[in-house]
Structure 1
Amino acid sequence: SKLSNIYFNDFEIQALTLALIEKTFTKKFRKLNISDLKTFIPDKVFKACLETVKDIKNDYKLFLNDPNFLVRFIIHVNNLFDRVKFSKQETEDTMLTGLALQYPFIYDLSLYTAEDLSKHLNISISYTETTYLLLHFGSYLISRKQNLINTVIITVNYYNNADSLLTSLSKHFGDDISISEIKTNFSNEDINSKLILTTEDNIDVKDNNYVVKITPFLTDTDVIKIKKMINKIRHDVQTDKIIKFLHEFTSPNLFFNDLNFKNKKQCLVYAADKLLQYQYVGKDFLNEICERERMAPTLFDTVAMPHSLKLNAKKSQMVVMINNKPIKWSVDNKSQLIILISVNKNDRDIFEDLLQALIDELSIRKNVQSLINSNNYNIFYTKIVNLMKNKSFD
């Protein structure tokens, strides 16, 4: 302040203090206690954050007690609480809408958190602040989900080229693969790794192995080939999971076409009633999905996927509905294919993966049109499975 003749008010000093604490805590969180923040964070905000984390645990079965997350979350909410005092209500943030397509589960979690904090703190949280919450959750949850692909290298150890190759691979793919072994004498009986990188020709491997032929000294072309294979492995593993979920969470009894809904409410009532008849959901389910629609329509391009923010269904299930004509779902858009989803909290991870996979495929309009033309469940199921499988990595 003395050097630049700038005056900092109490609010700015507090924000700067919290920013410095967050940086220090990130490096030394194992030596510090969350309660240390009570010196700087109002008790009302501190308690609200802990209550919201508890509510997320109860409704999502998501545990966020990691100090490296919690301290940042508390500081974030405190700054949010201060900003709300000076902010005005606004229309929906276009950035938030875009992120909803990329990270639909984290989007839902952010809406839930904003609503929950609003109740605990008696404030109204804007769309912009909800976007900040989404980015906050995303940076933590996405990094936590990264899985390394178990990899074996097969090469002749000539002039220590194996060591050089290992160094290059670690530099380019340290966040993607875990190199478990370097083999100079190959035998396929003892390879259980998913990915095999080899400098040798015509190696005999098992059907479930993915093989990339590379040069002894990693080239740019080798890097591109390995990246494509990593993407293919992740897609194939994820697709196998998604297809299993689709088989488990869909059924001919909950597939309906040739429907004549006049509006969105008729559709939601119909689907919720079907799930209630099978005792998959509780009596409040309809109110919960309507409340979720009130917060933000569950329309992803032209496909609606209504669901509750609370993952409290007795059984996870999907109701597939094809209306004869598109019905208005949001202010500017209509939907003809509606997939209503009930989710049990024990299936949270499954729901996250499934929702993302569906959005990825159903954001392509020709895929949607193909599904709309399905005359029965078996045709619909076969088509959607093929969409999931037939992704090109060329």
Structure 2
Amino acid sequence: MDPPNFYKIGVLTMGSTLNLNIFINQYSLNNIVLHFAISMERIRQGYILTENDQDILKDNLDKQELTLTNEITKVLARKYDIHFPESEIYKLALQFVGLYDKSLIENNNEQQVETYVDSTILSVLKDVLRRAEDIYLIDFEDNDFINKLAIHLQGLFYRSQFQKFNRNSNLLDIKISYPIIYDISVYIASLIQEKIDITFNEDEISFIALHIGSLLEKEKAIDKNYIRVLLIANDYHGIRDQITKKIKNRLGSSVQIQSVSDYNDNQFFHYDLLVTTDRKVATTYEGSVFIKPFLTDRDLIKIEKRIDVKKKQHQKDLIDKLIKRFFSESLYFNQIDPSGLMVSDIIKHMNQMMIAEGYVDENFFYSVQRREKMSPTSFPSGIAVPHSVELDALKSGISILTLQEPIVWSDQEIKVVALVAINKKESKKFNKFFELFIEIVSESYNVEQLRKSENCDEFITKLKIMADELIDKNILI
């Protein structure tokens, strides 16, 4: 027979789930198709699963899951001339545990959701989200978000009874690109796990991150990192208003425009960029942009480029302040010999110094350990970034420890450790920097360059240069 075709199996699987009105996302589909392909290849080579657990699975699987699996295996059997034993069918049916009727999402019917989702799960979820709101200052009061996450948790509850979890192929990307969202997900998962018999692995935590990311994207506030523009132009026949409107249409919320026909020197101190139709004003004030009274595309491009430069400089200045604020010579430990040290020993040593410097209290170490158990903070680039599961530091800061030789930290070779302490009141400012920091240290080359620093000042200088390069490449905070 022909070897099983991954794409064709996917089409057949998706077609069957559509027939039964089952919701299946791309991540789940990839996992399911892979299991069917492996099963078919195993059967073709004569390796059949034993029937030891067949009765247990048969008694616990829902009728819909077995019906769906039987439908798919019948189609595959005809297509590839292959026989699926009952033991294989029951194992494959596990892939559909926790999937649900599409109408639950499409209609967003709260009563229907409450019928599907166990009342305890729904109650715990709402309580956990309220606690997360207090910690992270995010509004989770969105029915669509809560309902979809509740449905996902109900599915996870079913799957965890069989120790069956969905893989997320984008797990590492989510951890690196959205570290704050991932941390919020770890926190939410840890609280839910304390109250309900649900097991979360890293992949399942990353699915919660996708729900949270979707909510934050939908509710993204207007960009407050705007550039203040002072427009000086005569208002003959409403020209000034026309210019203002054209600039706003082009640049949107990234600018705040104040337009005047007269001016004085004091006004310029309150604005980032001067735009004018008066050539004398333009030549008097350095950095101003001269435009024509009837604004052209070339004028708009000039304004846009100058604003981009100003915005990037604002970001560089902000990062410079945050680096100076969150890194300290007293929390920098260079070229430590890791011989005989365990990961917990390193965290404990760094934690003790943070206690001595007034950044954290005695409980911080245990909170960091709890976070590590939920999802290790080591990265393939050679850095570990341990931190608490809550924003419970006395003040925000980052302790840096570089190693003479790498140590193994949850299957990753680590050369640099950054122990992060975040105070709730400083979280918004800290988060601006933290995401950029993770973006920097996700690159092996950057970690190695930082590790070679002779002292804290050199480390900070290198970090600033790396941050500026990212900002210049439009990887903005």
State the TM-score, normalized to the length of structure 1.
0.77
**Following TM superposition, by how much is the alpha carbon of 1:43 offset from its aligned partner in structure 2, in angstroms?**
4.2
1:243-254 pair list within 5 angstroms: 243-254=320-331
d(CA) in 2 for partners of 1:151, 1:328? 52
User: Counterpart of 1:93 in 2: which secondary structure?
Assistant: coil
Q: Which of 437, 457, 466 is matched with 1:358 structurally?
A: 437
The aligned residue for residue 26 of structure 1 is none
| Counterpart residue identity of residue 369, structure 2 | C
Residue from 49, 58, 75 that aligns with 2:147: 75
Which structure ranks higher in relative contact order (CA pairs < 8 Å, sequence separation ≥ 6)?
1
Tell me if 1:240 matches 2:309: no
- Structure 1 residues 194-246: Cα deviation after superposition (integer angstroms, max 9, x where no partner): 23333444626778xx6444454555555554444444434333333333333
Residue in 1 aligned with 2:216?
Answer: 138
Is the 8 Å Cα contact of residues 312 and 345 (structure 1) preserved in structure 2? yes
Distance 1:220 1:294 in 2: 56
Displacement of 1:314 in angstroms is: 2.0
With over 3 angstroms needed to count, the CA separation of the structure-2 counterparts of 1:86 and 1:380, relative to structure 1, is same
Higher CA-based Rg: 2
The residue number in structure 2 matching 1:30 is none
- Which residue in the other structure is 2:259 paired with? 182
Q: Which residue of 2 aligns with 1:345?
A: 424
Quickly say closer, same or farther: Cα 1:393–1:318, change in 2 above 3 A. Answer: closer
Structure 2 residue 128 is matched with structure 1 residue 49: no
Post-superposition offset of 1:109: 0.9
Three-state SS of the structure 1 residue aligned to 2:312 is helix
Amino acid at match of 1:324: Q
Shift of 1:77: 2.3
Distance 1:223 1:55 in 2: 47
2:187 alignment partner in structure 1: 112
Deviations 1:321-372 (A, max 9, x none): 11112333343x4332222111121111122112123223334555444432
Q: CA deviation at 1:169?
A: 1.9
**Count of residues in Structure 1 that have an aligned counterpart in Structure 2:** 368
| Corresponding residue of 1:28 | none
Where in structure 1 are there 5+ consecutive unaligned residues?
1-5, 22-34
2:407 aligned with 1:327: yes
Distance 1:277 1:223, change over 3 A: same
Distance in 2 separating the partners of 1:111 and 1:205: 55
Answer yes or no: is 1:260 the counterpart of 2:337.
Answer: yes
| 1:135-214 equivalent positions in 2, closer than 5 A | 135-139=213-217, 142-143=220-221, 146-157=224-235, 160-179=238-257, 181-191=258-268, 192-201=270-279, 203=282, 211-214=288-291
What is the match of residue 3 of structure 1?
Answer: none
Compute the displacement of 1:145 (Å): 5.9
Most deviating of 156-165 and 168-177: 156-165
* 2:452 paired residue among 370, 373, 380: 373
Bigger Cα displacement from structure 2, 276-285 vs 224-233: 224-233
Aligned CA distance change for structure 1 residues 7 and 286 (closer, same or farther; 3 Å): closer
Question: How large is the Cα RMSD of the aligned pairs?
Answer: 3.7
Structure 1 match to 2:176: 101
CA distance in 1, matches of 2:406, 2:260: 58
What percent of counterpart residues are identical?
22
Is residue 157–residue 197 contact of structure 2 (8 Å, CA) maintained in 1? Answer: no
Amino acid at match of 2:172: T
* Distance in 2 separating the partners of 1:218 and 1:120: 62
Give the distance between the partners of 1:365 and 1:225, measured in 2 at CA: 37
Q: Tell whether the 8 Å contact from 1:317 to 1:343 is kept in structure 2 after alignment.
A: yes
Which residue of 1 is the match for residue 389 of structure 2? 309
Shift of 1:112: 1.4
Q: For 1:223 and 1:299, how far apart are their aligned partners in 2?
A: 46
Residues 369 and 216 of structure 1: CA distance in aligned 2, closer, same or farther (over 3 Å): farther
